[in-house]
């Protein structure tokens, strides 16, 4: 059974059909690419998957359970983590606290334990620090743990966002243009990191990218979107050789 099963997904904003009849089937452990030109509806699909928008049509099953109608927070707890195209960090919090905030559902203690500084507070906080630092280390951010998130350079902010999403221990990680604004070197390095985390954290990744070449380098399967509808769906070779894709990307 697929980890994520999306059937006939659609949403309209007023008259605009932003996403229409999209089908997705992502297997556990897969690195799946979602590409398409600007305005194709990629980010909208992420927003539908995470409950930011409610679909007008279609079904979304995560591990066989429908997540349509659930709140964003509930979907996060059900196992979908995400990053944002326009970075959304907790800017005035430290790098470490950004990740620790995302651990809140895994290391719990009561309000009273926190205020009274009961032993549970100290043991859980220490556990959180340990876990958060391990995750930061993967992204080479461990030396900046006390920086304010807003003081990190751009590339590291993108990484911190992925680290934060990972800290929620998602089954499925959605990355919205993680390489946007990076130079080719940074991009190549990031793609290596993405592959690494897929293996290290044993998760499934759905990746939005602008750049066809980049995605085809690391993704096992790709869905090409155009004007909200599927243009092609298959392995990188199949998609790259698809006449419809070539037309849409290279023009007539």
Partner 1 sequence: MKKNNTNQKINHNISVKNEKVNLNAIQKEKKAEAKSAFNIKNLVILLCIIAGYFLLAYLVEYRLNRQFKSLIVPIGANIILAVSLNLVVGFLGELSLGHAGFMSIGAFTGAIFTLNMNLPGNIEFFLAIIVGGIMAAVFGFLIGIPVLRLRGDYLAIVTLAFTEIIRSIINTLSLPAGKDKAGELIVKKGAMGLSGIETYANYTWIYIAAVISIIVVVNLVNSRQGRIITSIRDNHIAAESIGIKVSRYKTMAFVIGAFFAGVAGVINGHNLSSIKPVDYDYNRSINILVFVVLGGMGSIKGSIIAATILTLLPEVLRPIRNYRMLMYAIVLIAIMLINHSTWKSRLQGNNLLSKIFKKEQVSE
Span between the terminal Cα atoms of the chain, in Å: 39
Burial label for 81, CB within 10 Å (0-12, 13-18, 19+), is: buried
- Give the contact letters, 158-197, x = binds to partner 1 (CB under 8 A), - = no: ------xx-xx-----------------------------
Token readout for 217 is 């380098």
Distance CA 239, CA 230 (A): 12
Counting contacts by CB under 6 A, is residue 10 touching ligand ADP?
no
C-beta of residue 53 within 8 angstroms of C-beta of residue 75:
no
Near ligand ADP by CB under 6 A: residue from 33, 41, 55, 58: 41
Counting contacts by CB under 8 A, is residue 151 touching partner 1?
yes
Stretch of residues binding ligand ADP (CB under 6 A), selected from 10-18, 65-73, 91-99, 229-237 = 10-18
Nearer to Mg ion, 42 or 70 (CB): 42
Question: Residue 74 CB, nearest distance to partner 1 (Å)?
Answer: 8
Count Cβ neighbours within 10 Å for each residue of 3-29 and write b for 16 or more, e otherwise.
bbbbeebbbeeeeebbbbebebbbeee
Binding positions for partner 1, 66-95, rule CB under 8 A:
71-74, 76-77, 81-82, 84, 88-94
DSSP at 136: H
Contacts of 240 (CB under 8 A, 6+ apart): 212, 216
- Give the contact letters, 29-68, x = binds to partner 1 (CB under 8 A), - = no: ---------------------x-x----------------
Counting contacts by CB under 6 A, is residue 51 touching ligand ADP?
no
Question: Residue 67 CB, nearest distance to ligand ADP (Å)?
Answer: 19
């Amino acid at each position: 059974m697929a980890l994520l099963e999306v059937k006939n997904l659609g949403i309209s904003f007023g008259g605009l059909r932003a996403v229409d009849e999209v089908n997705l089937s992502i297997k556990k452990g897969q690195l799946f690419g979602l590409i398409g030109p600007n305005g194709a509806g990629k980010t909208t699909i992420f927003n539908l998957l995470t409950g930011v928008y409610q679909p007008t049509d279609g079904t979304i099953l995560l591990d066989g359970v429908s997540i349509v109608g659930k709140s964003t927070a509930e979907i996060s707890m059900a196992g979908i983590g995400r990053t944002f195209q326009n970075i959304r960090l907790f800017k005035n919090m430290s790098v470490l606290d950004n990740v620790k905030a995302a651990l809140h559902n895994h290391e719990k203690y009561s309000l009273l334990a926190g205020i009274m500084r009961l032993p549970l507070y100290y043991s859980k906080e220490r556990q959180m620090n340990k876990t958060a630092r391990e995750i930061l280390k993967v992204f080479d951010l461990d030396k900046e743990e006390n920086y304010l998130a807003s003081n990190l350079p751009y590339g590291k902010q993108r990484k911190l966002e992925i680290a934060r999403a990972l800290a929620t221990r998602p089954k499925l990680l959605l990355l919205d243009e993680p390489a946007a604004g990076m130079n080719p070197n940074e991009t190549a390095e990031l793609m290596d990191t993405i592959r690494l985390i897929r293996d290290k954290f044993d998760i499934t990744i759905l990746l939005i990218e602008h750049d066809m070449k980049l995605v085809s380098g690391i993704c096992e399967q790709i869905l090409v979107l155009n004007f909200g509808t599927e243009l092609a769906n298959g392995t990188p070779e199949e998609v790259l050789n698809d006449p419809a894709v070539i037309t849409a990307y290279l023009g007539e």
